[in-house]
Amino acid sequence: MANNGIKGACKSTPLSFIAIITLSLILTSKSNAQNISKHYTSSLQDKGVLYFILPQSGFRNNEIKSELTYDITYLTANDTVTLNFSYFDKLNRDIDSIVFVGGNKIFSSRVKKIFIETKKGKWHYRYSSKFSFTDLNIFLNQADKPKIILYTQQGAMELNIKAKTWKKQSAVTKKILTLIKYNQ
Partner 1 sequence: MKKMKKLVFAFSAALLLSSCATVKSPLSGLWYTNVKAPVAVTGNSNSTKVGTSQATSILGIVATGDASIDAAAKSAGITKIHHVDEESTSILGFFAQYKVFVYGE
**Nearest CB to partner 1, comparing residues 4 and 43:** 43
Q: Using the rule CB under 8 A, is 101 a contact of partner 1?
A: no
Q: Using the rule CB under 8 A, is 80 a contact of partner 1?
A: no
As measured in angstroms, the least distance from the Cβ of 75 to partner 1 is 6
Among 5, 33, 115, 182, binds partner 1 (CB under 8 A): 115
Q: Using the rule CB under 8 A, is 128 a contact of partner 1?
A: yes
* Beta pairing partners, 98: 109, 150
- What phi and psi values does residue 6 have, to the nearest 5 degrees? -65, -45
Q: Using the rule CB under 8 A, is 110 a contact of partner 1?
A: no
**Residue pair 51/73 in contact by the 8 Å Cβ criterion:** yes
Among 75, 99, 116, 171, binds partner 1 (CB under 8 A): 75
Per CB under 8 A, the segment of 9-17, 50-58, 149-157, 162-170 that binds partner 1 is 50-58
DSSP string over 89-156? ESS---EEEEEEEETTEEEEEE-EEEEEEEETTEEEEEEEEEEEHHHHHHHHT-SS--EEEEEETTEE
Q: Using the rule CB under 8 A, is 76 a contact of partner 1?
A: no
Binding site for partner 1 (CB under 8 A): 25, 38, 41, 43, 45-47, 50, 52, 54-55, 71, 73, 75, 82, 84, 86, 114-115, 126, 128
